[in-house]
């Protein structure tokens, strides 16, 4: 049976945080935007991984201090800092996984799409460098709007002749983490057991939790489905409003991205039982990119789990049809941007 990777495997990861770590593998991870609100706690969580031998921290400013600080943790990985465009290429050489949380976050009243004008160019430049220096790496995009930045990354990689659709990921793990938390709270379930697939994209109504596919199997009233779906879709905004101008989710995002990175490293290391949701190049619907559950392996996406689409409820089916126009427009906006640039 398929199993969400949050259950026993990430328990191992959380348990390992309490133990002295010894290296179990030697993967290299680069974080682009490592000095940011997400970048710093994400770097810390990845520094705790026994699967990582080198952690490359890149940002346009102040990354030296973050690296010096983290390098004192007695965990196996070596931490190396890279500052500014002149050092970007070197930060990527020999890297197995690149995580990109570089870019500006939302303030109250903004949509993720309002970040497009600044973040599209940042992602484009960074992915060009990835294409030139580590085209074989898993590329994991956190920078918003994910629904557009992932298509931008794909176009950049295509232009450079190195696009591998199985290795480009929009990180939507935070939607799953939130869905799991809110469902466990509402239904009084043990958190460690709960796994809710979240499909579509990563903005507003394009975030579609498939509550009917929750594991363990649990029944919801129509009102619970409505409340949970709306809360999961607006959870990012909940944090933006609570932070009142000081940015968006950083700590829960770092937690979620660390889970996705750790899953990727386990898959690279030969674990044959790794499943995560991600926004990827996909044939599942008529849209060119779509988030769904996937099986991860050494070569990236090994299989798309299409069985989640069987037997959708009427509510989910309606949600799926409703999200398509917005998601399509966001994908096209990214593709158009990437192809207009020199």
Helix (H) or strand (E) holding 55: strand 52-59
Taking the complex as a whole, how short is the minimal distance between the CB of residue 92 and ligand NAD, in angstroms? 12
Active-site residue, 72 included: no
What stretches of the chain show up as alpha helix (H) in DSSP? Answer: 8-16, 39-47, 63-70, 85-92, 116-133, 146-159, 173-187, 222-233, 235-243, 251-268, 314-340
Of 143 and 214, nearer to ligand LMR (C-beta) is: 143
Q: Does 60 bind ligand NAD (CB under 6 A)?
A: yes
The answer to whether residues 235 and 178 touch, using CB atoms and an 8 Å cutoff, is yes
In eight-state DSSP terms, residue 195 is: B
Listed residue (75, 91, 31) closest to 254, CA to CA? 31
Q: Which of 19, 56, 72, 202 is catalytic?
A: 202
Q: For residue 106, what are its two tokens?
A: 């939302």
* Rg for the chain, CA atoms, rounded: 19
| Positions in 227-246 near ligand LMR (CB under 6 A) | 236, 239-240
| Positions in 158-197 near ligand LMR (CB under 6 A) | 174
Q: Does 39 bind ligand NAD (CB under 6 A)?
A: yes
Of 183 and 257, nearer to ligand LMR (C-beta) is: 257
Helix (H) or strand (E) holding 198: strand 198-200
Which positions from 68 to 107 touch ligand NAD by CB under 6 A, shown as an x/- string?
---------------------------------xxxxxx-
What is the C-alpha separation between 70 and 206, in angstroms, rounded? 36
Binds ligand NAD by CB under 6 A, chosen from 15, 18, 61, 190: 61
What is the C-alpha separation between 172 and 195, in angstroms, rounded? 14
Taking the complex as a whole, how short is the minimal distance between the CB of residue 152 and ligand LMR, in angstroms? 16
Q: How far is CA 99 from CA 95, 130, 268, 281, in A?
A: 11, 11, 15, 17
In eight-state DSSP terms, residue 294 is: E
Question: Does the CA dihedral 185-215-207-29 come out positive or negative?
Answer: positive
Of 36 and 50, nearer to ligand LMR (C-beta) is: 36
The answer to whether residues 7 and 192 touch, using CB atoms and an 8 Å cutoff, is yes
Number of residues that bind ligand LMR (CB under 6 A): 10
Binds ligand NAD by CB under 6 A, chosen from 180, 250, 264, 292: 250
Binds ligand NAD by CB under 6 A, chosen from 89, 247, 288, 297: 247
Which positions from 5 to 34 touch ligand NAD by CB under 6 A, shown as an x/- string?
---------------------------xx-
What is the C-alpha separation between 27 and 38, in angstroms, rounded? 21
| Helix (H/G/I), strand (E/B), else coil: 272 | coil
Binds ligand NAD by CB under 6 A, chosen from 5, 43, 143, 282: 143
Taking the complex as a whole, how short is the minimal distance between the CB of residue 123 and ligand NAD, in angstroms? 9
Binds ligand NAD by CB under 6 A, chosen from 35, 77, 147, 212: 35
Of 104 and 162, nearer to ligand LMR (C-beta) is: 104
Of 126 and 179, nearer to ligand LMR (C-beta) is: 179
The residues carrying an active-site annotation are 202
Interface contacts to ligand LMR, rule CB under 6 A: 105-106, 112, 144, 174, 236, 239-240, 248-249
């Amino acid at each position: 049976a398929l199993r969400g990777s949050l259950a026993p495997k990430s328990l191992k990861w959380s348990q390992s945080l309490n133990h002295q770590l010894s290296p179990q593998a030697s993967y290299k991870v680069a974080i682009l935007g490592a000095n940011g609100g997400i970048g710093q706690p994400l770097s810390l969580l990845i520094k705790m991984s026994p699967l990582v031998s080198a952690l490359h921290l890149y940002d346009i400013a102040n990354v030296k201090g973050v690296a010096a600080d983290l390098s004192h943790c007695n965990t196996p990985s070596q931490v190396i800092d890279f500052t500014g465009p002149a050092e970007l290429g070197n930060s990527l050489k020999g890297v197995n996984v690149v995580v990109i949380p570089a870019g500006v976050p939302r303030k109250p009243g903004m949509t993720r799409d309002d970040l497009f004008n600044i973040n599209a160019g940042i992602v484009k430049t960074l992915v060009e460098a990835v294409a030139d220096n580590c085209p074989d790496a898993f590329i994991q995009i956190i920078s918003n709007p994910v629904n557009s930045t992932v298509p931008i990354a794909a176009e950049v990689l295509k232009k450079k002749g190195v696009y591998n659709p199985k290795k480009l990921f929009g990180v939507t793990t935070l939607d799953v983490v939130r869905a799991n938390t809110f469902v466990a709270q509402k239904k009084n379930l043990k958190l460690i057991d709960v796994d809710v697939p979240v499909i579509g994209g990563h903005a507003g109504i394009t975030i579609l939790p498939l509550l009917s596919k929750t594991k363990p199997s649990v029944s919801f009233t129509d009102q619970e489905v409505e409340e949970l779906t709306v809360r999961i879709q607006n959870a990012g905004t909940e944090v933006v409003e609570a932070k009142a101008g000081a940015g968006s989710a950083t700590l829960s995002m770092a937690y979620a991205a660390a889970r996705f990175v750790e899953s990727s490293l386990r898959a690279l290391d030969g674990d044959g039982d790794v499943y995560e949701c991600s926004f990827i190049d996909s044939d599942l619907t008529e849209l060119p990119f779509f988030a769904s559950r996937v099986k991860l392996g050494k070569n990236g996406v090994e299989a798309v789990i299409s069985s989640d689409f069987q037997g959708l409820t009427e509510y989910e089916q309606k949600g799926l049809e409703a999200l398509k126009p917005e998601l399509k427009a966001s994908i096209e906006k990214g593709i158009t941007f990437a192809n207009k640039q020199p």
